[in-house]
Every structure is written in C-alpha cells, then in structure tokens.
Homo-oligomer: A and B are copies of this chain.
Amino acid sequence: MAAVQKVPDIVVGRLPVYLRALQVMAAEGREITSSQELGERLGISSAQIRKDLSYFGTFGKQGTGYRIPDLIEHLRRILKVDRTWDMILIGAGNLGHALAQYQGFTPRGFRLVAIFDNDPEKIGRPIGPHVIQDVQELPEFVRAHRVQIAMIAVPASAAQQVADLCVEAGIRAILNYAPIHLKVPKRILVQYIDPAIHLQQMTYYLGNEG
C-alpha cells in the first residue's frame, strides 16, 4: 500500500532511527536483517517496525526479512535524504563551532553552506572551510541560494529574533538549540534540542540518593 493515508508524525519520527541503525548494520557488513533483529537493537517491538514500514510500502520478503541496502535506499528516499540539503547556521559560539566542524551531517544528507553571527569580533573569522558572515547578509544569502534549513545556536535572548529573520528570508525548517520555544507560522517546521530537557526527564526517574 502506498502512502495515501496521512502518516502519523510519530511514525515519521522513528524512520530516521531505523535508518541510522540500518546504516550501522551495513557498516558491519550485514546484508539481511529482520524486523525482530532491528527491534531488538532499538528496544522496539518487531510489530511496530513492520507496521511503521507498511505505511510506505512493502520492503521485505516473507520468510527472509529485509535486504539492508534496499531498505536503506527506501528510507533515504522516503525521508528525502537521497539528496543533499543545504543548511545555514546562526551563532558562532562554542556550540556553533562544534556544529560547523561536525562531520556527521554530510553522510546523512546535509551540508552546511554558511555561518552567521552578529558579533563584529567574529565576523570575517574562519571556522573550518567557512567564514563567519554578518547576520545582516542572511536574507540575501538564503534567497540567493534557496536554503530551506537553518540551525539556530544563539543565546536564548536572540533566538526569537533570529527565527523571525529566517522565516522572513524563506527558511522552512529550523533546528533550534536555544532553550526557548519559538513562535513561528504553522507552515514552518521546528525541532528543538535542549540537553537540560533530556536531563530533567531522567532525574525524575533517578532516586533521591544523589
């Protein structure tokens, strides 16, 4: 069955996790896997994996399982990472530097094409292959290069303003590292990364001994 019905967000959210695990298996030289094996690796039920995949098609072979390279290709196509997406980064602090140097984007479908900051001390300095640009140049850059994805790594106090600028410039998806909820039009996709949120989720379950 093709993806005619709307796929639940929660299912879409698991696909990249499946893809990552499959790529690990491929790197191990594995050719075939099963929903059961994949589920065991990820702590997910095999039924869940089969059901999730069934929203998009039928990729396995009964009695055998899934050919890893094939399933990887299908997932890459479904997630649209069978191409490379340009991204910009705003914020050239410690986190910005780490993101700028991160080698993990390229093999997974993403490429950083520009870094912006508003600090005159930083503008013009190199980070890896890039030079920090004035955030004022962001709108023109985004329009000229048709960039759709931005990563925001500025302080909380500046994040909303930067987000507004991005949206105005035509950015359609934001990965926000600032610890605030962004107010953006519904059409804009936003994902949040905030380590303290994850840590606080865990401390709830940690005993009081600490």
Segment of A45-53, A73-81, A134-142 in the binding face:
A73-81
* Chain A residues packing against B (C-beta within 8 Å): 12-13, 15-17, 19-21, 24, 41-43, 78-81, 83, 85-87, 93-95, 97-99, 101-102, 104-105, 108-110, 146, 148-149, 151, 156, 172-173, 175, 179-181, 183, 189, 191, 193-206, 208-210
Total identical chains: 2
A81 to chain B, nearest CB (A): 6
Contact of A202 among B86, B99, B191, B198 (CB under 8 A): B191
A203 near B81 (CB under 8 angstroms)?
A: yes
11 example contacts (A-B, Cβ-Cβ < 8 A) are as follows A12-B205, A20-B181, A80-B206, A81-B200, A83-B210, A85-B210, A86-B210, A94-B101, A95-B102, A173-B205, A173-B206
A90 to chain B, nearest CB (A): 14
Given A41-B181, A181-B21: A79 and B196 within 8 A (CB)?
no
Beyond the given pairs A41-B183, A81-B203, A146-B209, 19 more chain A to chain B contacts, judged by CB atoms under 8 angstroms and listed by A's residue number, are A24-B180, A43-B181, A79-B200, A79-B201, A80-B206, A80-B208, A81-B200, A85-B199, A85-B203, A95-B102, A104-B195, A105-B195, A109-B196, A109-B199, A149-B199, A149-B202, A189-B202, A189-B205, A191-B199
